[in-house]
């Protein structure tokens, strides 16, 4: 779970209230409950980095208020969190200071606007529910590929559909009971606020075929893909940049 977040009925964390620019929610998107799932599925290069005394470098796109990004740093990554919404970045920096995380940096910005990082700067890139609300998601994927080292891995989570308030709550109640549905109400309300206030772009909802095609066009090889988050409303993808890139 992204530490500091609230729990949804299926164990995903639900971050602080979103900002109006998109890419702001800070849940874990169904990655599996905590940042150590990234460790369990990491490429061998991360272990070699630690053996050489270097923390693996991670980039968190659309970091929002920083809950999950802080958890990545606590799991042993040297992490940079990037978000275009200044108040959320300010909140994230406060959490970094409170947790005394020297291996964590937060920056305001958009990866698609300017050459923010050098080519191959990161061992892993993580983007959770940022693509669907980004003005140019295909360009964001290409930039994520560019800043990833050859052989590096990326985790992407994107919505497959709009999360309707009452259908979602009815599905949770049917599957997990009324108490779980009441817990899920908070997330659904936050999501509704986000959709009402965010910058009017997209939404870019992608099914399996579309997501795979977009990743392939950006250069990624898809290693694994599965439905996750509130009854399969999102896709979790594990992808890789070729060593020969």
Yes or no: say if 78 and 103 are a contact pair by the CB < 8 Å rule: yes
Domain assignment present for 1: no
Question: Dihedral, CA atoms, 127, 133, 138, 144, nearest 10 degrees?
Answer: -20
pTM, to two decimals: 0.75
Strand order in the sheet with 148-159: 104-108, 78-83, 57-61, 122-128, 148-159, 234-240, 221-228
CA 139 to chain centre: 16
Yes or no: say if 15 and 5 are a contact pair by the CB < 8 Å rule: yes
Task: List the structure tokens of 8.
Answer: 């949804």
Number of structural domains the chain divides into: 1
| pLDDT for residue 20 | 27
| pLDDT for residue 2 | 32
CA 219 to chain centre: 19
Range 170-192 average pLDDT: 73
Q: Which residues of 7-38 are buried (b: 16+ CB within 10 A; e: fewer)?
A: ebbbebbbbbbbbebbbbbbbbbbbbebbebb
- Please provide the average confidence, as pLDDT, over all residues in the chain: 78
| pLDDT for residue 121 | 96
Domain assignment present for 60: yes
CA 67 to chain centre: 11
Domain assignment present for 146: yes
CATH number at residue 42: 3.40.50.150
pLDDT band at 43 (very low <50, low <70, confident <90, very high): low
Domain assignment present for 26: yes
Structural domain boundaries enclosing 68: 6-240
Task: List the structure tokens of 238.
Answer: 């594990």
Residue 157, beta-bridge partner list? 128, 236
Distance between CA atoms of residues 232 and 218, nearest Å: 24
Range 86-91 average pLDDT: 92
Domain assignment present for 229: yes
Q: How many residues does the chain have?
A: 245
Residue 19, pLDDT > 60, answer no
| Report for 42-46, 87-91, 184-188, 237-241: range of highest mean pLDDT | 237-241
Range 178-186 average pLDDT: 74
Per the model's pLDDT, the better-predicted residue between 44 and 12 turns out to be 44
Domain assignment present for 245: no
Domain assignment present for 71: yes
Range 199-220 average pLDDT: 89
Tell me: the pLDDT tens digits for 58-82? 999 999 889 999 999 999 999 999 9
| pLDDT for residue 226 | 95
Residue 124, pLDDT > 50, answer yes
| Report for 2-6, 137-141, 226-230: range of highest mean pLDDT | 137-141
Residue 38, pLDDT > 60, answer no
Sorted by sequence, the CB contacts under 8 Å of residue 112 that are 6+ apart come out as 134, 135, 136, 139, 140, 143
Residue 236, pLDDT > 50, answer yes
Task: List the structure tokens of 7.
Answer: 């729990």
Domain assignment present for 123: yes
């Amino acid at each position: 779970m992204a530490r500091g977040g609230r729990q949804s009925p299926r164990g995903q964390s639900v971050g602080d209230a979103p900002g109006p620019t998109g890419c702001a929610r800070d849940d874990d998107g169904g990655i599996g409950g905590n940042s150590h799932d990234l460790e369990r599925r990491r490429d061998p290069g991360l272990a070699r980095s630690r053996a050489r005394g270097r923390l693996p470098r991670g980039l968190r796109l659309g970091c929002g208020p920083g809950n999950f990004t802080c958890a990545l740093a606590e799991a042993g990554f040297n992490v940079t969190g990037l978000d275009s919404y200044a108040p959320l970045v300010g909140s994230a920096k406060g959490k970094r200071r409170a947790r005394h995380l020297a291996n964590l940096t937060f920056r305001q910005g958009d990866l698609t606007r300017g050459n923010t990082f050098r080519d191959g700067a990161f061992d892993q890139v993580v983007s959770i529910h940022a693509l669907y609300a980004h003005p140019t998601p295909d360009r964001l994927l290409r930039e994520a590929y560019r800043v990833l080292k050859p052989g590096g891995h990326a985790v992407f989570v994107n919505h497959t559909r709009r999360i309707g308030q009452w259908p979602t709550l009815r599905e949770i109640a049917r599957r997990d009971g009324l108490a779980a549905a009441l817990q899920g109400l908070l997330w659904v309300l936050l999501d509704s606020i986000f959709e009402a206030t965010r910058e009017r772009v997209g939404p870019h909802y992608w099914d399996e075929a579309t997501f795979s095609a977009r990743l392939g066009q950006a250069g990624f090889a898809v290693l694994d893909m599965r439905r996750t988050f509130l009854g399969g409303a999102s896709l979790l993808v594990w992808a890789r940049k070729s060593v020969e890139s």
